[in-house]
Structure 1
Amino acid sequence: MNLTMRQLRAFVTLSECGNFTLAAKHMHVTQAGLSAMIRELESQLDSQLFLRTTRKVEITTAGNAFLPYAAEALQRLNDGIQRVTSEKGRQCLCIGLTPLVAATILPAISDRFKQACPNVELDVIDADREQLQRMVESEQLDVAYGLFFEQKSVLTQALVFSAGLILIAPASCVQLNSSAEASYERNRNLACQLPLLTLRRGSHFERFVQAFLQEIDYPKVVRHDFQHLATLISMVDAGRGWALIPSFAQLACKRYKNVRIMSVGKTSPRLDFFCITRRGTSIPAALHSLSEIVANECTTVR
């Protein structure tokens, strides 16, 4: 018997996806190539692992019995590869960040991570949430950080930290109290005479903000939609409106002279910031250090 790592990977991926088209896409092979690997594996095991129909693929009793052993074998092989690579010298951790997070904290986390893990290099991709999730699924990234990732069987999500909402407005709309902090209750009516600036309608964050405004019975106001949080902040700086943004994004606001930050108080809903990895892949030890650094940078108010 001569089982290969690719055969085991094909079997585990197909069992997770339940679909040849999707499994082949994840493995970057053709459906015919994937089918051939499954047939070869079934032939060597002398057992049918999947029931195939025109609409779906179902794992058999024999397949279910074999699955945990195949997944464990892949994990051990990945761990072994990681160990050999680490002993040879420097490792590389491929991570994904959304553009605002990357622009805000990347220099700081790079420096801190280099001190904590000097033998591991960071290879960073900045892209939108959907693209980052696809890249983790296809194993182009080891990990991605962000909000509102979809729940998928091929992915594992881990909470990095929890944030809230803050209100940002042009300086001309904000009166500061003696402690130089903006009072949400005192200034929101001034700020909200301007248009509300939000992300595109239907986006996860836009729906989150709208649910919050409805919950506090906030009146409907004129609004303008944009694609990125960084655009919202720059438009507030230009005096074009006000916005509700994640509290960790206040770090990006520090770059703008005309942006003022206000707390929304105890009514702020919770925003969970996650890291995602592909299920069944080896998780580098350095990832835990990186997540701690990301959490510290995003939750530290300067």
Structure 2
Amino acid sequence: MPVAQRTLAELESAVRDIGDMSDVENRRATVAVTPAMAAGILPAVLTSIANAYPHIEIHMKEADSSQIIALIDSGEVDLGVDAVVKSSPGITREVVGTFDMVYVCRDEFREVRFGGTAFSAEMDWADIPAAPLIGMSAGNPMQQIIDQRLMDLGRAIVQREAFSHLLTIVALVEAGHGAAILPAFVLPMCARFSVQATHLRRPSDSIDVYVARKSGRTNSEICTIFTEAVTLKLRSLVNAAAPG
């Protein structure tokens, strides 16, 4: 069985074992996700849940990272998925995946395939080429980690283009506008573009992905199923992207 089909089957098998969904009130949930999560992770998760439980509904609401906490707090959504979910009063966060950083570019490296993306095993942060970097917005916690690491290595943070959406950044890398340092959960998205990615090691930095919900709210079966399905999907990405 092809890898993609096997992973989907594993997701479906996992979610079937979590709950019987007998509570009518727990058959619908809305999840806020960023464009990167919507493009690279959530489609397979939603498909697996729909196949295992065709009588439940999970609706996806696309939102910027800065909006997710407010959407959860207001009750407009039940859950949020993102790597930039800050600790906030009244919000419970659960880590569902941890990812290294990758250097994404058009240059030639020793290649390992990840879907359609050329994926080099690894490189040190100190060996990042002195090429223009396309960044995330300065207020993005992931970009702040990247900038701090570059500063620790004595690399000047030069003026660069900055964008909110990771999909835009990868597209600009493919078009030759520069390189980017991004969390490895972008690899499924990168597979749609003619780019190459390399694990950044020594020193190692990682980004956590969270599922967040309102504290004190009963965690319904559907929310449990969704969280477990996301965890399994992200674990499969970590294993697929591991160098070596």
**TM-score higher than 0.5:** yes
Q: 1 or 2, which has the higher helix percentage?
A: 1
1:283 CA drift (Å): 1.1
> Against the structure 1 CA distance between its residues 178 and 290, is the aligned structure 2 distance closer, same or farther, given a 3 Å change threshold?
closer
Quick check: 1:203 aligned with 2:137? no
> Against the structure 1 CA distance between its residues 250 and 131, is the aligned structure 2 distance closer, same or farther, given a 3 Å change threshold?
same
1:122 CA drift (Å): 0.7
> Against the structure 1 CA distance between its residues 182 and 133, is the aligned structure 2 distance closer, same or farther, given a 3 Å change threshold?
same
1:231 CA drift (Å): 1.1
- Cα RMSD of the aligned pairs, angstroms, is 2.7
> Against the structure 1 CA distance between its residues 266 and 288, is the aligned structure 2 distance closer, same or farther, given a 3 Å change threshold?
farther
AA at the equivalent of 2:149: F
Aligned mates of 2:179, 2:58 — CA distance in 1? 35
Greater shift in the superposed pair: 238-247 or 264-273: 264-273
Aligned mates of 2:181, 2:74 — CA distance in 1? 33
**2:27, 2:57 within 8 Å by CA — same for their partners in 1?**
yes
Q: Matches of residues 1-302 of structure 1 in structure 2 within 5 Å?
A: 86-88=22-24, 91-170=27-106, 173-176=107-110, 181-182=119-120, 184-185=122-123, 192-221=129-158, 223-257=160-194, 259-299=195-235, 300=237, 301=240
> Against the structure 1 CA distance between its residues 260 and 89, is the aligned structure 2 distance closer, same or farther, given a 3 Å change threshold?
same
Q: Deviations over 1:260-289 (max 9, x none)?
A: 011112423121111111112221112222
**2:125, 2:203 within 8 Å by CA — same for their partners in 1?**
no
**1:145, 1:274 within 8 Å by CA — same for their partners in 2?**
yes
TM-score, normalising length: structure 1: 0.63
> Percent of counterpart pairs with the same letter?
21
**1:174, 1:187 within 8 Å by CA — same for their partners in 2?**
no
1:235 CA drift (Å): 0.5
Greater Rg over alpha carbons, structure: 1
Aligned mates of 2:53, 2:178 — CA distance in 1? 42
**2:96, 2:234 within 8 Å by CA — same for their partners in 1?**
no
**Higher relative contact order (Cα pairs below 8 Å, separated by 6+ residues):** 2
* Aligned length in residues: 214
TM-score, normalising length: structure 2: 0.77
Unaligned runs of 5+ in 1: 1-84
Aligned mates of 1:279, 1:186 — CA distance in 2? 40
Q: Deviations over 1:188-235 (max 9, x none)?
A: 86x734311101223222211101222333354553222221111001
> Against the structure 1 CA distance between its residues 282 and 255, is the aligned structure 2 distance closer, same or farther, given a 3 Å change threshold?
same
1:78 matched residue in structure 2: none
DSSP-derived class of the 1:96 partner: strand
Unaligned runs of 5+ in 2: 1-20
1:11 matched residue in structure 2: none
Q: Deviations over 1:42-68 (max 9, x none)?
A: xxxxxxxxxxxxxxxxxxxxxxxxxxx
